[in-house]
């Protein structure tokens, strides 16, 4: 992932409602959610939700697909995982790092 792509994704997630929308979609993966279901779940008006979904789509974090008369929004898990890989690429002084592992598993990694 390029730095500019990472910055765009992080900027999109740096807004509380967009972060909530994205987390709700990740929780509903792989099936996704309609705007109506998202609106009801998050208690946000449809017009506000539409704005936030557009921003998440622009950042490559969300896709949509038409199913009959409905739109189904889904998280782009590949993009999310690429962002996480980008953020952790230099973790542990270049040693493999299993998140949540004990420090002795990954020498030099204080955060593992």
Do the beta carbons of residue 66 and residue 56 sit within 8 Å? Answer: no
- CA-nearest of 85, 81, 63 to 73 is 63
DSSP 64: E
How many helices (H) and strands (E) the chain has is answered by 5, 2
pLDDT per residue of the chain (112 residues) written in tens, 0 to 9: 999 999 999 999 999 999 999 999 999 999 999 999 999 999 999 999 999 999 999 999 999 999 899 999 999 999 999 999 999 888 877 676 665 554 443 444 444 4
Rounded Cα distance between 86 and 11, Å, is 15
**pLDDT at residue 112, rounded to an integer:** 42
On whether the CB atoms of residues 35 and 69 are closer than 8 A, the answer is no
Quick check: pTM over 0.85?
no
Q: Nearest-5° angle of CA 52, CA 27, CA 18?
A: 15
* Peptide bond between residue 30 and the one before it cis (omega within 30 degrees of 0): yes
Structure confidence at residue 98 (pLDDT): 64
Q: Which two tokens stand for residue 58?
A: 């622009």
Query: Looking at residue 100, what is its pLDDT?
Result: 56
- Output the six-digit token pair for 21: 């929308």
């Amino acid at each position: 992932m390029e730095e500019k792509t990472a910055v765009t994704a992080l900027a999109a997630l740096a807004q509380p409602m967009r972060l909530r929308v994205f987390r709700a979609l990740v929780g509903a993966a792989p099936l996704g959610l309609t705007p109506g279901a998202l609106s009801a779940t998050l208690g946000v008006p449809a017009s506000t939700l539409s704005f936030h979904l557009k921003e998440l789509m622009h950042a490559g974090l969300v896709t949509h697909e038409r199913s009959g008369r409905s739109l189904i929004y889904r998280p782009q898990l590949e993009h999310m995982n690429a962002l996480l890989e980008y953020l952790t690429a230099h973790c542990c002084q270049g040693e493999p790092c299993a998140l949540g592992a004990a420090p002795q598993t990954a020498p030099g990694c204080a955060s593992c």
